[in-house]
Structure 1
């Protein structure tokens, strides 16, 4: 009898800790620790995520064959030492502040992991599975290629930095993955983008989306300044940064005074006024990033002759660059790992072991990927939901789908904002109709209502459309699925509203309130949208909801944003969902088949302390 081979992948101790579990190479479960602890980007040992993965598979840690960590700490430590020596005595302060953590935890990560795992399963260390380590970029590359639909593909990993690599190219074929070349720290596209995130007053490692969202309001005025001073970009997309302007190799900040002088002003204070200048800077670095990504893609295509490209690493979450890559790049198709950041490293590390150690085979049909729509997190049974709602004193009605979907379609058409909680939680930073807040995209007030009254965040931030997969081409310039909301494409001309001459004179943020299309709340200022296609195979209930809305209104599109308030991780449990629902101006909440209406709920009093609880993201 065949014993199932279980492989547990872990990423931890930097940011976005996570765990993922494979059973004979099939992805059974994956989740980020932040969803359980409610601490955004939680870097701690993912004790809750691991417990969940084991519970989902119905096994204990002793039944796991291998535990694999997504990173090689010794090599990373060498980089810190070498970097310090190369720049000494400059980095003394940051060196001294980093060392205790390294000496205590990270260098002895094997010991740390064994201690944590035996504590978790209350067993002796001798009973624990093998402990293995993959390289950081190897884990990214594996998460991109092995989970992709392609039999053969080129792979690009772009992020801040792993051990040394900041950009790496790979060639995937069947169940093998071969490294081609890499660019090393400190020359990093991820860190360059983060330096601008920091300079424009946003938070590094989470504010990069804002920079991307702000870019269309600006003009690319600083592109030459960036290319002439900050980096030497080659025709093939490789580059070197001039470290005289940056502080991240040695200091505790991203940039230094020279950087600020080059752009003629100090960094914007977080939460300070956003001016046209920040918008122009955002647009400029976005344009430079896209140019680098396009050049690198052309290079790797010429080197491999591949028809397909897979992407991972934090920079792969730049869906504007991905959209351009799809339209202008040399590949027939591209696939991006939905958990492209460090959380996805847990999954990639497990896939490395399955294919390298166990020579696991994979079948790829160029259509279906291995991610199950990224719905890899916890789901909740009706009995659990009911006892949770009863304990909270919530008022609810249980309604079968046949009646529920038309009722929800009507509520949405009446411009009600709906908390939507069903099925398994998504793995990766996007809500994809498992833990979403949804609204009517035809409503002209929906964007500002959702931003200011529900998410409590900046008004310029765009929202994404979820569209029935079969209708995507009727509304958007996209002829293929985009299930993970990682590709930006334009709204088709026939749905746009031409701007008046006066509107065309508007600058920057003034453009925000101009109606651009018949779907104003999902159309960004440059007529683009970050698209998620909804598929019956992976999310039948979300598909049914969008279908009911289409039947009622003729519109197959919903506004979809993640179910959380600003600075809070996406909700995981029914209790998280109810709390978020009661703290915001959401009108209704659906948890599986339970419908809750705001006016019927008991008075909710938690004195707004939570506003301070979550740091602004």
Structure 2
């Protein structure tokens, strides 16, 4: 059985993170975000039609081969949809009369396929559950909004989902955090920047909102002047929050010229989210009692919150996936659609490789064609020699554009589309920030093998989080000089644990043989405001536009500056 999972529609301008995946016989075989093709970050107002065409072709399939489609947002369903008999919580709606709306240029080939519409938060929970090896688990989903709610607490027992609690969009942790980032002058869709800024402030102790885990109720700081009101839209609630900040928080204006004026404000916002997240986890553990906690939704990208959940929540295991964002919800929709049609969906076995590099395959011929098209001279090397030369270049302080195999699904560069540099030199980080157009104060992430974690004084990797660069780890002061560019002002790094047997792990191993530490600074292979590169042609274009990049590596080829 061949099922498509999607999010994003061309007739809905508010859509973002359009994504498509293919589920074949109950397993995800390929997935890709539309932004990687359209080259518009977050793909606002786009559907994943172009992406679906690519994925089907990559698998040697035709649109007519598709059996059904799962859509990761039930609120997008029109009145013509009917209720589908299912034991899933929140209900399932289906119709075969929307194919032309969702896929206008593919409709004739798809032939009016059945489209199942699922609860958005359930899709987040499903993807996270089936991408982890736990038979029974609790799932905390928190994002901007998920249709009827902004935060949902699920319990899963052997593949059976139960919704325990759901909280109004009015109490959206995600919108609160995004509004705070905007107020601090960092822009919309700037949650990661605010998390980095929060490390520079001294907390005042203010909590803008709290959550009573016993009563299951959100509460606002009574000192706040103004309260979020009804008539909900995400945009309206975000602007109400910025008005509250202006009336009640210092500085008393949005977007002052000095970013660091907002450091204490950012710290208070971050600690508010951490405390609320911890209280939600306590509520979920009290109501369910499983040993494993899975986190999903945009808030699951908050690495400081995840660290506290892992260390303090009482759960023995805290995990997420490579794609906790809305793109991951599309994967969940595909898996849920397969299950509704009776296809057994198997959880990831602990022996299975991590489901990270789910993009289309990239062949040597495509790499050669991209290099030939721009007459780029290159050197072909055997894998071991290639890694050795790259490691030596990195040790000299050079910056490497690393393009290797299928692209990562999700917002983090995890070793397929990366800009790499040595963790020792802060001047190298300055050069990297110039390439990326990043503010110099923002933190950089450190990628380490298991031997790398053992070689420095750093908190242990958290299985299920650190592989996806979703957890911060404290680094002991005695090793700050060895990984200076990867340690933030608060003494932490958003580390990535890289498997020794992976291609990226083999490169880190070569780095370790040269430098003594199998670790690198790892950030996404893109320029400011653009998505990660997808194709070899994109990588060649980036290399031409960014002279600060010293090497372009697309195995088996190494490209140097003339």
TM-score w.r.t. length of structure 2:
0.89
- Contact 1:8/1:67 (CA < 8 Å) preserved in 2? yes
Q: Secondary structure of 1:217's match? A: coil
Query: Is 2:359 the counterpart of 1:377?
Result: yes
- Residue 34 (structure 1) aligns with: 35
Select which of 522, 545, 554 maps to 2:516: 554
Partners of 1:542 and 1:298 in 2: CA distance: 37
- Residue 51 (structure 1) aligns with: 53
Matches within 5 A, 1:88-99: none
Select which of 202, 209, 222 maps to 1:219: 202
Q: Secondary structure of 2:362's match? A: coil
Kindly tell me: are residues 189 and 394 of structure 1, through their superposed partners in 2, closer, same or farther at Cα, counting changes over 3 Å? same
Q: Secondary structure of 2:137's match? A: strand
Query: Is 2:486 the counterpart of 1:522?
Result: yes
- Residue 468 (structure 1) aligns with: 449
Structure in which a larger fraction of residues adopt helix: 1
Query: Is 2:462 the counterpart of 1:458?
Result: no
Select which of 245, 249, 264 maps to 1:263: 249
Query: Is 2:545 the counterpart of 1:583?
Result: yes
Query: Is 2:304 the counterpart of 1:289?
Result: no
* Residue 330 of structure 1: how far off its partner (Å): 0.8
Q: Secondary structure of 1:431's match? A: coil
Q: Secondary structure of 2:467's match? A: coil
Q: Deviations over 1:142-200 (max 9, x none)?
A: 01111112111100100111111111011112222221111122111111111211211
Q: Secondary structure of 1:254's match? A: helix
- Contact 1:463/1:522 (CA < 8 Å) preserved in 2? yes
- Residue 90 (structure 2) aligns with: none
Q: Deviations over 1:86-141 (max 9, x none)?
A: xxxxxxxxxxxxxxxxxxxxx99975543453622652x6x243211111111111
Kindly tell me: are residues 357 and 116 of structure 1, through their superposed partners in 2, closer, same or farther at Cα, counting changes over 3 Å? closer
Kindly tell me: are residues 73 and 299 of structure 1, through their superposed partners in 2, closer, same or farther at Cα, counting changes over 3 Å? closer
* Residue 357 of structure 1: how far off its partner (Å): 3.3
Partners of 2:178 and 2:99 in 1: CA distance: 30
- Residue 613 (structure 1) aligns with: none
Q: Secondary structure of 1:344's match? A: helix
Partners of 1:239 and 1:369 in 2: CA distance: 40
Structure 1: gaps of 5 or more residues: 78-106, 497-516, 601-617
* Residue 369 of structure 1: how far off its partner (Å): 6.4
- Contact 1:149/1:368 (CA < 8 Å) preserved in 2? no
Partners of 2:17 and 2:271 in 1: CA distance: 27
Structure 2: gaps of 5 or more residues: 10-14, 80-92
Kindly tell me: are residues 548 and 292 of structure 1, through their superposed partners in 2, closer, same or farther at Cα, counting changes over 3 Å? same
Q: Secondary structure of 1:288's match? A: helix
Alignment RMSD, CA only? 2.4
Matches within 5 A, 1:381-400: 381-400=363-382
Query: Is 2:182 the counterpart of 1:182?
Result: no
Q: Deviations over 1:343-398 (max 9, x none)?
A: 11110111112234315142555x456752x1001232111111111111212111
Matches within 5 A, 1:312-391: 312-358=296-342, 360-363=344-347, 365=349, 367-368=350-351, 371-372=354-355, 374-391=356-373
Q: Deviations over 1:436-485 (max 9, x none)?
A: 0001111232222211x211121111111111134324332014442110
- Residue 557 (structure 2) aligns with: 594
Kindly tell me: are residues 383 and 296 of structure 1, through their superposed partners in 2, closer, same or farther at Cα, counting changes over 3 Å? same
Partners of 1:340 and 1:408 in 2: CA distance: 32
- Residue 239 (structure 1) aligns with: 218
Partners of 1:467 and 1:488 in 2: CA distance: 13
- Contact 2:469/2:494 (CA < 8 Å) preserved in 1? yes
- Contact 1:155/1:311 (CA < 8 Å) preserved in 2? yes
- Contact 2:94/2:114 (CA < 8 Å) preserved in 1? no
- Contact 2:58/2:361 (CA < 8 Å) preserved in 1? no
Kindly tell me: are residues 279 and 368 of structure 1, through their superposed partners in 2, closer, same or farther at Cα, counting changes over 3 Å? farther
- Residue 98 (structure 1) aligns with: none
- Contact 1:464/1:560 (CA < 8 Å) preserved in 2? yes
Partners of 1:383 and 1:579 in 2: CA distance: 17
Greater mean deviation of Cα atoms: 518-527 or 441-450? 441-450
Q: Secondary structure of 2:365's match? A: helix
* Residue 556 of structure 1: how far off its partner (Å): 1.0
Query: Is 2:386 the counterpart of 1:424?
Result: no
- Contact 1:71/1:135 (CA < 8 Å) preserved in 2? yes
Q: Deviations over 1:563-582 (max 9, x none)?
A: 01111101111111111122
Q: Secondary structure of 1:437's match? A: strand
- Residue 62 (structure 1) aligns with: 64
Q: Secondary structure of 1:186's match? A: helix
Q: Secondary structure of 1:119's match? A: coil
Partners of 1:483 and 1:54 in 2: CA distance: 29
Q: Deviations over 1:388-445 (max 9, x none)?
A: 1111121211111121111111100000000000111010000111000001111232
- Residue 409 (structure 1) aligns with: 391
Kindly tell me: are residues 406 and 74 of structure 1, through their superposed partners in 2, closer, same or farther at Cα, counting changes over 3 Å? closer
Partners of 1:549 and 1:26 in 2: CA distance: 35
Partners of 1:384 and 1:169 in 2: CA distance: 45
Q: Secondary structure of 1:582's match? A: helix
Matches within 5 A, 1:193-204: 193-204=177-188
Matches within 5 A, 1:600-611: 600=562
Q: Secondary structure of 2:170's match? A: coil
Partners of 1:30 and 1:528 in 2: CA distance: 32
TM-score w.r.t. length of structure 1:
0.81
Partners of 1:162 and 1:423 in 2: CA distance: 33
Q: Deviations over 1:20-72 (max 9, x none)?
A: 11111111011100010100000301122211221232211211111111111
- Contact 2:154/2:164 (CA < 8 Å) preserved in 1? yes
- Residue 86 (structure 2) aligns with: none
Between Structure 1 and Structure 2, how many residues are aligned? 531
Partners of 1:76 and 1:262 in 2: CA distance: 41
Q: Which runs of 4+ in 1 moved over 6 A?
A: 107-110
Matches within 5 A, 1:428-507: 428-451=410-433, 453-475=434-456, 476-481=458-463, 482-496=466-480
Partners of 1:207 and 1:161 in 2: CA distance: 17
Partners of 1:110 and 1:189 in 2: CA distance: 35
- Contact 2:395/2:515 (CA < 8 Å) preserved in 1? yes
Matches within 5 A, 1:98-137: 113-117=99-103, 119-120=105-106, 122-123=108-109, 127-137=111-121
